[in-house]
Every structure is written in C-alpha cells, then in structure tokens.
C-alpha cells in the first residue's frame, strides 16, 4: 500500500510549509483486526503506520534554524510524528473522503533527539498506537534515516472526524 502526496493532502488538513508527510508506505492494524468487517476506534491500538518525508534544503524553516548550519527543529520532528500517526484512522474510517478531520497535538512525553536532521535527508517515520480513549490517541513514534534512529517521542493527540 502506498499513499501518495495528493492523497496525503486529501486526508490531512495541513498544508505547506507545515505539511511534514510526503507519503505513507504502509498502515497495519494488529493481527486479527485486519479481518473485521466493521472497525471501532479502539482497533487502532497496536497498529503501526510507516510514513516518509524528505527534508528539502529550500524549506523556509532552515533559513532561521540555523543560518549556515540548518537543522530541522525537534518540534517539527514531533509534528511530523503526529501527522503520520493519524493515518491509522484511514483504516477505521473507510469513508474518510466524506469527512473532515479535526486534529490537535495535545502533549508529548519522553521525547529524545538522538541525531540532528539536516536538509536533503530521506526520513522514515514509524508510529505505533499505544492507547485510545474517545478521540484521544497516544502513539509511540520513531524517526529514522537510513535505518538510524534520529528521534523518538510519545505523542498525544485529539482526532475527530466530522461531516464535510
């Protein structure tokens, strides 16, 4: 399964320069859930999403963080993780194209920034849903570059779908 950039933009409300997902490589629900006919929100628990984002040298954020030594800010990496994690809901809401997503990042726990992220890096973002309570989701996320861990965090977000 590959979800390209145009479909990413259909699903997420974010736009450049604050869209930090180029594509989604795969969405996997936990074993046994994939075979259900009707899903519930709790079915995303244990599910994983694999996304991609390539940092671009001309992204405006690099001009100020930091001139002459551009590094992707940790808060942007966390936002990237949160954006990718929301795609687990694409499986739960097969009619997502008829809905509008309201999403808010509410909290971050145990974040670690292990290596700097520079322009022109091809990143893979892996998220795993740990907990769901109503519209609130907690996801454990990791950003990789060529198999190396760049950063990781646990993110809490509120995600709701409403009629368009």
The domain in which residue 47 lies consists of 5-163
Q: How many domains does the chain have?
A: 1
59 is an active site residue: no
Take residue 146 and report the two structure tokens written for it. 């060529």
Query: Residue 32: which CATH number?
Result: 3.10.129.10
Catalytic residue among 9, 25, 30, 65: 65
Give pLDDT tens digits along the chain (164 positions). Answer: 799 999 999 999 999 999 999 999 999 999 888 777 788 889 999 999 999 999 999 999 999 999 999 999 999 999 999 999 999 999 888 889 998 888 899 999 999 999 999 999 999 999 999 999 989 999 999 999 999 999 999 999 998 888 88
């Amino acid at each position: 399964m590959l979800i390209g950039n145009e479909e990413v933009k259909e699903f997420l409300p974010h736009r450049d320069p604050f869209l930090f997902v180029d594509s989604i490589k795969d969405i996997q629900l936990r074993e046994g859930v994939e075979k259900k006919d009707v899903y519930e929100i709790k079915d995303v628990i244990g599910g994983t999403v694999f996304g991609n984002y390539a940092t671009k040298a001309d992204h405006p954020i690099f001009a100020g963080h930091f001139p002459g030594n551009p590094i992707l800010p940790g808060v942007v990496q966390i936002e990237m993780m949160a954006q990718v994690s929301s795609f687990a809901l694409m499986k739960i809401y097969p009619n997502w194209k008829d809905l509008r997503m309201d999403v808010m990042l509410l909290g971050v726990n145990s974040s670690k920034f292990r290596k700097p992220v520079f322009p022109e890096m091809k990143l893979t973002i892996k998220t795993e849903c740990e907990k769901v309570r109503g519209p609130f989701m907690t996801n454990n996320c990791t950003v990789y570059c060529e198999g190396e861990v760049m950063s990781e965090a646990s993110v809490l977000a509120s995600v709701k779908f409403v009629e368009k």
